[in-house]
Structure 1
C-alpha cells in the first residue's frame, strides 16, 4: 500500500522491539562493566591502604613529600589520582619515589584488559595448558574434561587405569581445577580417597605429580613446595624478556604455599641472588624465615638461569599475552617444573615494590588514553 504524503513509516513492531532489546542489552552490559571496575578499584585501594598501614607500623611513617610526588605522577602520567595508593606502598617499601612504576590496580584495570584480550582467559584452564605450551616441564599426569578422564596425551582412560597411573610413583597426587589460582581449589588426593563410581564427579582440571624440591628450598621450608615467580613481558619489538623474579615459600604448617601465609623475597633476574630482606604475607619485613630461621642474605636460587630461560622461551612461543607470571620449582634433579602460569591479574605489585620499576619502556603508562578514547 503506497505511503500517504506527510506520514512517517513505522517499522514493524518486532523489529522495533528487537532494536530496543539489543540497545538495552548493550547499555546494561556497559553499566555492569563500569560498576565491576569501580568495585575492583575500591577493593584494590582498600587493600593498598591496609598494606601501607602494616608497613608503616613496623618501619615508621613515610615522608609525605614522596607521597605527593606519587600523587602527581598518578594524575599527570597515569591519568588519575586513584592509582596513587599502590604507588604509596611502593614508595614506603623502597624508601623513595621512582618514575615508571606501574600500580597494581592500573595494571589490572588498564594494561591487562587492553593488551591481553581473550587469549589470556585460556591460561586459567589448567586442563588446556599442555595443549598450548607442549612442554615436559609441566608435572601433568592426567586430566578431567567434562567428566571424562584422559591421560597426558589426551587419550580417554578408565578410572581403574587412571588410579594406577596417578599413584604409580607416589602415594599422593595434586588436583587443580580449571580457573583456580593462588593455591585455591587445590586438592591433595590419595588412592584411598579418590572419587569412586557413583560419587560426584570431579570438575574439569588436571592431576599433577608431587614435585620433590631441590634441597636448597627444603632447607628453607620442607612442608610445602617452594615456588619461584618469574615474570616475563613482551617488548615493543615482539621479543620477550624476563622482568622480575622472587622466591615464595610456605610456613611450617602449610602443605601448599598460600597467599595468606607465604614468605616472599625478591631475586636478581640476572643471577637469582636473593635480597637480604624478605616479606611476610602482611608485608612486614624479616631477614629470616620465621619458622626455620633460614637467613636469605648471601643465597641464590639454584639453576635460576635455566628456569628463567625456559619461561622466556615458552612465553616467546605464545606471545599473545603481554605479561606472564610463571610459578616454577627446581626439583631434586635440578630440573625446572612449571606449576602455574598466570596472564590475568598476575601479581606485579611485589616485584614493583621491591625491585621495580620493572616494566619501564613498554608504553604501558600511556594506555589509559586509549581506554579513555
Structure 2
C-alpha cells in the first residue's frame, strides 16, 4: 500500500517531536539532580521516604516517573512531601503546550507588548521595527528625534531585542551610540528608560535593579489570581540580575513579606545577602499590594494566557514599573519548592491525560 507524502511528513514530525521532548526531559532532570546534590551538600541526605513518595506521586498522579526528580528537589528544600506540586518539566512539557496557546508567543515580542498591555507602567520610550524607529505612540520618527527621546531625562537608555528573555540581549546605550553608520541596523525591539529602584531594593543590591517576580494564573472560573511571588536580586559585580549569580527570596503573596531565608543561584540557603549583609527576616516589599493589583488587571485584560510571570520593580518614586512579562514556560520551580504547592485546584495534574501518546 502506498504511503502518502503527507503521511510521511506527519510521521517524521511526530518522531522528531518525540526525540525533542525526550531531550528536554533529560536536560531538565539532569538539572534537577544537580540541584538536589547542591541542596543535600548543605543539609544532608533527603529522607528516602520522601524520595520514594515523589516517585509514586509522579507515576500515579502525573503519569510518569520522569517527573519525580523535581518533586524530589521540592521535598528536599521543604523537608516534606506535599501533594499538588507541579514539577518544572511537567509544567514545560504538558501544561504550557496545552494551555498557553499561540497567543502566548506575543509576550516575547517586546516591541509589541505595549500595544497589548497599554499601560504607563511600562518604561517604553521607542521601538525598532524592521529597521525603522517609532515613538511610544508607534508613529515613525527619525534618528535625531529618537536620540532626543531616549536621553531627555537620563544619560543611558536600555535596548531589549524581541524574542529575548532572562536579561539576555540587553544593551545599555548612550548618545554616543548614535548615529549608527556602519554598524548595521538594530534588530526589532524596544528602547526603555532605566528604572531607578526604590531605596529598599538598593539596600539589598545597589548596582543591579532588583526584580520582583509575581506569577498570576487563570482560575477555572476565568478569573485571575496571584499564585506565587519572589524577589530576585543581583550580586555586587552584576550590572543586570543574572540567573548565573542571582539571589532569590520567596515572598508572602498576601503581604509581600520576605521569607526569613533566601537562596543563592545553586540553591544554598542564606539569611543575609552575601555582599551587602541585608537580612531578609522581618522585611517587606514596598507597594506590593499595588503591584499585585496591576498584574491581576493586566492578566485579566488578556485571559488567553493561562499563567504569566511578571517581572517588576518599584522605582524611587514608589511607582510600579514592568520590566517584562513571561507567558511561555515562565519559571515556577523556585516558588513550588519554597512556598508551594502554588497551583493546587487548577486541575493541571490531569492535563497529561490529554497529551497524545
TM-score range, shorter chain: over 0.9
Query: After the TM superposition, which residues 169-180 of structure 1 pair with which residues of structure 2 at under 5 Å, given as runs?
Result: 169-180=153-164
- 2 CA distance for matches of 1:211 and 1:284? 29
Shift of 1:27: 1.8
- 2 CA distance for matches of 1:162 and 1:354? 44
Task: Give the number of equivalent residue pairs.
Answer: 357
- 1 CA distance for matches of 2:267 and 2:151? 39
Query: Residue in 2 aligned with 1:56?
Result: 40
C-alpha contact (below 8 Å) 1:278/1:285 kept by paired residues = yes
Query: Residue in 1 aligned with 2:254?
Result: 270
- 1 CA distance for matches of 2:91 and 2:113? 24
Shift of 1:33: 1.3
2:31 is equivalent to residue 47 of structure 1? yes
2:306 is equivalent to residue 329 of structure 1? no
- 2 CA distance for matches of 1:246 and 1:360? 18
- 2 CA distance for matches of 1:197 and 1:160? 13
2:151 is equivalent to residue 167 of structure 1? yes
2:220 is equivalent to residue 242 of structure 1? no
Q: 1:192 aligns to what SS in structure 2? A: helix
- 1 CA distance for matches of 2:35 and 2:163? 26
Decide which structure has the larger Cα Rg and report it: 1
Instruction: Identify which range, 188-197 or 285-294, moves more after superposition.
Output: 188-197
Query: Residue in 2 aligned with 1:13?
Result: none
Deviations 1:265-301 (A, max 9, x none): 0000000000000000010100000000000000000
Shift of 1:339: 0.2
Query: After the TM superposition, which residues 133-212 of structure 1 pair with which residues of structure 2 at under 5 Å, given as runs?
Result: 133-194=117-178, 196-212=180-196
Q: 1:241 aligns to what SS in structure 2? A: strand
Query: Residue in 2 aligned with 1:83?
Result: 67
Query: Residue in 2 aligned with 1:232?
Result: 216
Shift of 1:195: 5.3
2:56 is equivalent to residue 72 of structure 1? yes
Residue number among 77, 96, 105 corresponding to 2:80 in the alignment: 96
2:298 is equivalent to residue 318 of structure 1? no
C-alpha contact (below 8 Å) 1:224/1:257 kept by paired residues = yes
C-alpha contact (below 8 Å) 2:143/2:179 kept by paired residues = no
2:271 is equivalent to residue 287 of structure 1? yes
Query: Residue in 1 aligned with 2:200?
Result: 216
- 2 CA distance for matches of 1:194 and 1:63? 59
- 2 CA distance for matches of 1:147 and 1:54? 46
Structure 1: any 5+ residue segments left out of the alignment?
1-9, 11-15
Q: 1:123 aligns to what SS in structure 2? A: helix
- 2 CA distance for matches of 1:166 and 1:205? 14
Shift of 1:197: 2.9
Shift of 1:50: 0.3
Q: 2:226 aligns to what SS in structure 1? A: strand
- 1 CA distance for matches of 2:239 and 2:178? 19
Q: 1:207 aligns to what SS in structure 2? A: strand
Shift of 1:211: 0.5
C-alpha contact (below 8 Å) 1:226/1:329 kept by paired residues = yes
Query: Residue in 2 aligned with 1:347?
Result: 331
- 2 CA distance for matches of 1:175 and 1:313? 26
Q: Which runs of 4+ in 1 moved over 6 A?
A: none
Deviations 1:6-26 (A, max 9, x none): xxxx9xxxxx8xx83322222
- 2 CA distance for matches of 1:35 and 1:145? 35
C-alpha contact (below 8 Å) 1:195/1:201 kept by paired residues = no
